[in-house]
Structure 1
């Protein structure tokens, strides 16, 4: 399932239900508490709440796993960090959470009416992270902000801002890693590594924008948000361009993969099934997102070299061909992929995807493990896929006979775990 779907995005649900409920309870409690205490600094609340709502309305899917709303996240963090001469009464933790919750709901409503995709889990995660940042900042931020002429005086406040943002990032990364472990059976340390990698690329831009929003508003008043909004919009534009490029890239690869099915060199859906199994194994082995993407593309394109062979394999069963024919097809496929100029790593995976383990990776560690994953995935698909007739147990038995000679033992063991968890094409 790729791209945006209409309505509520349910793919994160499972532990996601707990996250949504936690966010809803936290937001509702904050709204009730703030209503009893009364709001402070209404102009700032309306300004930052408006930014959060707009950011939520224009959220988008950037990495196939979650929606992104950089404007909403930056504005929410900025509202957390308000403290300075232009902020007479800084908002307390409950008010920060309440404004974020109400603004998020206001931003989501137009998407619901329009039937656009929205991710309740991601919105709830943002609310929980903002709550953590607000609590940390309230606990450690200095209250005496009188200027004494020295820049050193600002260091404690800057330090408090950075620690608050880091607390939000760490909480969100832990929650995200837990979800990835649940949904994709990825080892938690690897999932946490991936989350911090995303934080380093995308989260840092949102955190810096939030700090700039807070600092500018605290020093210059509500004249600052419109000025800081320009780099925020540029960040949003850059993220959307990246997301669009990813979708185009993926569509192109899938179109190339379908060429073998159209020509009769692979059975309908064979490449997609092989890729889905390869991705499941890659997740089990804890590969990085960049390697996972290359693995998926390599699995999709692993049969493209067969187009150079004289005749299709019966039913797309390339395993029925001789070793020489399969390796020739892999080499031709790698050469075709290399001509794109942007899929070199994918080409290397495909080039070795038919190498026997004993003559390949066992003696040459430079051969990527992804090649062994594609080899095993294709073998399992051809044994279990549509029209093959073998049960998963029988297929595992046949593949097990080739452990250490034809197939990488590490990959086969991962396949056992994936199949044992009930993987189905």
Structure 2
């Protein structure tokens, strides 16, 4: 948490210093500041909502980057400095964030800290040199290349900062968080940075009328991605409903699949899985017992970990066949089918599901001593049944309950914080 306080403190110091300088020197080019402030505020109002950890305001971010890298306005030099950029961006972001703060739907302090620090970084790299005339002789492709370079550095800075904040808030491995953030640069992150750079270049030529023109494509893209996210959410709810079929049929105890999925996700994060890998792991963990629906004689209490290996494999193959008929990703069916294979031949997701399922079955309605005993039994089984790295990861996760209790799969009426977010492209710019 010391890193979290450091980031927030640095952002607060930068914001206070910028505000002080702006109040002392006065607000230059008020029309330009008002136009960009309105754009950023609208972008914050349309920020990606919901209960995900990762929030996104692509329109607000593009406007902030454009203002930070703004040189001339319709050929006329603009005298605003880095301090004014940070002040205007912060004021507009706060104004647009009021509804989100009021509804409690977003981690506003982290969001604003990232915005202040990343925009401040871009503005400090560009505005002082521009105001001194260092880029006066730059034109055409050279000037565009300069903006692209600064946008790339800013995006990388933001990715590192976002990964650090995610590590502080969730306890997930920093490397996994950083990979997820960098993956977002190839999606909407590239579109946001490109839009910010193009707006800065367009305003330099045609003036402020370029802002609404170049914002429209990004706004339409945001609406399309929201629809896509709604479809994915419905898809996830369908999988969660299929997973409950074994509970409704009395094959497994209530909540078993949800608990296995929550723990599996936490173990997967601890082992460095990200993005699609976590999505496959979550879906496979939810549906890992679905093969029991094909059995004539139900397994007592749905506990498959204690069955003979041949019977475990038969149930796993039946489950994989059912999953394939549902139209779910074939990778999910593979994990379900191979969860009972010899440990050395299993993919990592199957190893995780197998170990977590065995632990959950051993600790149903158990006390702390029984949980420790179950974990020790898994350690003793690492000679052949369970992967040692998975068991040790499970032990680390169990030592920090918040990592998996907060990461329960969606569809169970719980807040979703998994990295397997339906829209991985919205990672970078929050």
Relative to the length of structure 2, the TM-score reads: 0.86
Residues in 1 aligned to 2:129 and 2:154: alpha-carbon distance in whole angstroms? 15
Q: In the alignment, which residue of structure 1 is the partner of 2:87?
A: 98
Contact 1:82 1:90 (C-alpha < 8 Å) held by counterparts: no
Indicate yes or no: 2:77 matched with 1:77.
no
Q: Deviations over 1:179-201 (max 9, x none)?
A: 33334444333322221111221
Q: Deviations over 1:250-287 (max 9, x none)?
A: 21111111111111111111111111111111111111
Which consecutive residues of structure 1, in runs of 5 or more, have no partner in the other structure?
A: 1-12
Q: How does 1:48-63 map to 2 (within 5 A)?
A: 48-61=36-49
Q: Tell me how far 1:409 sits from its aligned partner.
A: 2.2
Indicate yes or no: 2:126 matched with 1:137.
yes
Residues in 2 aligned to 1:392 and 1:45: alpha-carbon distance in whole angstroms? 60
Q: Tell me how far 1:327 sits from its aligned partner.
A: 1.7
Residues in 2 aligned to 1:62 and 1:14: alpha-carbon distance in whole angstroms? 28
Q: Deviations over 1:381-421 (max 9, x none)?
A: 11123358853320111112211311122212322332344
Residues in 1 aligned to 2:50 and 2:322: alpha-carbon distance in whole angstroms? 28
Residues in 2 aligned to 1:45 and 1:200: alpha-carbon distance in whole angstroms? 30
Decide which of 240, 259, 262 is 1:276's aligned counterpart.
262
Q: Tell me how far 1:146 sits from its aligned partner.
A: 6.0
Q: How does 1:8-23 map to 2 (within 5 A)?
A: 16=4, 18-23=6-11
Decide which of 43, 54, 67 is 2:55's aligned counterpart.
67
Contact 1:253 1:297 (C-alpha < 8 Å) held by counterparts: yes
Q: How does 1:239-258 map to 2 (within 5 A)?
A: 239-258=225-244
Contact 2:41 2:96 (C-alpha < 8 Å) held by counterparts: yes
Using a 3 Å threshold, how does the CA distance of structure 1 residues 247 and 128 change in structure 2: closer, same or farther?
same
Looking at both structures, which has the greater relative contact order when contacts are Cα pairs under 8 Å and sequence separation is at least 6?
Answer: 2
Residues in 1 aligned to 2:202 and 2:163: alpha-carbon distance in whole angstroms? 33
Q: Tell me how far 1:18 sits from its aligned partner.
A: 4.7
Residues in 1 aligned to 2:162 and 2:85: alpha-carbon distance in whole angstroms? 23
Q: In the alignment, which residue of structure 1 is the partner of 2:186?
A: 200
Decide which of 366, 380, 384 is 1:405's aligned counterpart.
384
Q: Deviations over 1:273-315 (max 9, x none)?
A: 1111111111111112210111111111111111111243333
Contact 1:382 1:388 (C-alpha < 8 Å) held by counterparts: no
Q: In the alignment, which residue of structure 1 is the partner of 2:355?
A: 376
Indicate yes or no: 2:166 matched with 1:180.
yes
Decide which of 300, 304, 307 is 1:321's aligned counterpart.
307
Relative to the length of structure 1, the TM-score reads: 0.87
Q: In the alignment, which residue of structure 2 is the partner of 1:6?
A: none
Q: In the alignment, which residue of structure 2 is the partner of 1:5?
A: none
Decide which of 42, 59, 69 is 2:30's aligned counterpart.
42
The number of aligned residues is 401
Q: Tell me how far 1:15 sits from its aligned partner.
A: 5.2
Residues in 1 aligned to 2:171 and 2:106: alpha-carbon distance in whole angstroms? 24
CA RMSD of aligned residues (A): 2.5
Which consecutive residues of structure 2, in runs of 5 or more, have no partner in the other structure?
A: 406-430
Q: Tell me how far 1:95 sits from its aligned partner.
A: 0.5
Residues in 1 aligned to 2:44 and 2:196: alpha-carbon distance in whole angstroms? 15
